[in-house]
């Protein structure tokens, strides 16, 4: 295996980590006002991802950095052609992060409602646009002989790409409901469990349609096993959720998301960004990669640093493994109350 192929695989793994981990963050953000009927119940849902969401975003930063270093031409074409969608994703992620931090800063229902809505939008926009972006990469976009994107914004809104966006949006929403069902107990867990059960009959046909269309769009025989695993993962998650096995259902959902990313990358290979103008202009693992020396240095850094990152994230998940319920949520101490208490002291 050449280092270009190795780093293509590494970038696929990084996107798997991002979609599996950040996927349930997006789902929880979109469902906060559905799963919680009052502020305490909404805080239960938020606290399931509170210690994890910012660490999960590191996978995105690493995937972007690895693409820039290993395949600079791919990075340049992708970010120039998809500038507006990726800018919207960036703004939405910023809004979402601010919503997490600022929601509890004032004891006001209107204040919290506003940030809940910001959290919903900041979660739904990336969940939708990541699917649109990946579907466009698989389908191919107009690229000329100079490796430059020559299309416009509306070139990215083809039916296949829109279906990809709907797929990621609905799958992440389901993934979030399964995560809350796994991490909570009491009324919040019951709502999440019911919502997941109702979502499966909607999500599975959408995801199946997208995966079949992906095979038709760019046929690669080595993508077929991944598509089969993705379909089996969703069906297994539905079966386990119906029997109240929250951990198995969430794990099967994660497998389905991971297998879908594998199917997309397998459909691409050996291209990294196909050209709809001419196959002669495709960006591939060979013509879009950095030098052998750069890839060698990156490989050593990854070998030494990745175990530390994985160990830290596994430790974080283990520390915050306990299920939460409304009785576990303390009263909010807003800044004004703290200031008053300090003056009284």
* 164 belongs to a structural domain: yes
What is the reported pLDDT for 326? Answer: 86
Give the strand pairing for 271-273 and 283-284: antiparallel
What is the reported pLDDT for 219? Answer: 87
> What's the structural domain count of the chain?
1
Would the CA dihedral through 238, 239, 242, 244 be positive or negative? negative
What is the reported pLDDT for 91? Answer: 96
What is the reported pLDDT for 312? Answer: 85
* 333 belongs to a structural domain: yes
* 85 belongs to a structural domain: yes
Is this structure's pTM higher than 0.85?
A: yes
* 63 belongs to a structural domain: yes
What is the reported pLDDT for 1? Answer: 57
Q: Which of 147, 178, 188, 165 is nearest to 288 (CA)?
A: 147
* 319 belongs to a structural domain: yes
Residues of the chain falling short of pLDDT 70: 1, 332-345
What is the reported pLDDT for 321? Answer: 86
What is the reported pLDDT for 339? Answer: 47
* 257 belongs to a structural domain: no
Structural domain including 26 reads 22-205+281-337
* 254 belongs to a structural domain: no
What is the reported pLDDT for 328? Answer: 82
* 4 belongs to a structural domain: no
- Beta carbons within 10 angstroms of residue 190's beta carbon: 13
């Amino acid at each position: 295996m050449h280092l270009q192929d190795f780093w293509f695989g590494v970038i696929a793994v990084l996107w798997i980590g991002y979609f599996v981990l950040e996927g349930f963050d997006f789902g929880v953000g979109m469902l906060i006002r559905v799963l919680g009927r009052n502020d305490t119940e909404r805080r239960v849902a938020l606290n399931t991802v509170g210690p994890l969401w910012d660490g999960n975003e590191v996978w995105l930063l690493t995937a972007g950095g690895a693409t820039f270093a290993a395949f600079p031409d791919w990075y340049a074409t992708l970010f120039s052609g998809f500038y507006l969608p990726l800018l919207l994703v960036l703004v939405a992620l910023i809004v979402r992060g601010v919503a997490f931090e600022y929601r509890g800063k004032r004891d006001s229902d209107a204040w919290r409602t506003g940030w809940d809505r910001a959290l919903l939008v900041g979660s739904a926009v990336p969940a939708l646009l990541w699917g649109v972006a990946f579907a466009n990469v698989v389908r191919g976009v107009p690229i000329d002989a100079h490796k430059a994107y020559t299309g416009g914004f509306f070139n990215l809104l083809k039916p296949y790409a829109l279906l990809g966006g709907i797929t990621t949006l609905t799958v992440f929403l389901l993934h979030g409901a399964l995560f809350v069902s796994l991490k909570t107990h009491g009324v919040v867990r019951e709502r999440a469990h019911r919502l997941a059960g109702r979502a499966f009959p909607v999500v599975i046909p959408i995801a199946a349609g997208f995966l079949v269309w992906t095979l038709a769009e760019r046929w690669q025989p080595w993508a077929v096993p991944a598509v089969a695993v993705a379909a089996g993962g969703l069906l297994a998650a539905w079966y386990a959720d119906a029997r109240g096995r929250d951990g198995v259902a969430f794990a099967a959902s994660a497998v389905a998301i991971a297998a879908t990313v594998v199917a997309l990358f397998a459909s691409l290979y050996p291209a990294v960004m196909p050209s709809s103008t001419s196959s002669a202009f495709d960006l591939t693992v060979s013509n879009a990669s950095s030098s052998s020396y750069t890839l060698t240095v990156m490989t050593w850094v990854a070998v030494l640093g990745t175990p530390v990152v994985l160990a830290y994230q596994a430790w974080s998940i283990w520390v915050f493994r306990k299920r939460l319920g409304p009785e576990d949520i303390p009263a909010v101490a807003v800044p004004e109350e703290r200031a008053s208490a300090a003056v009284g002291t």
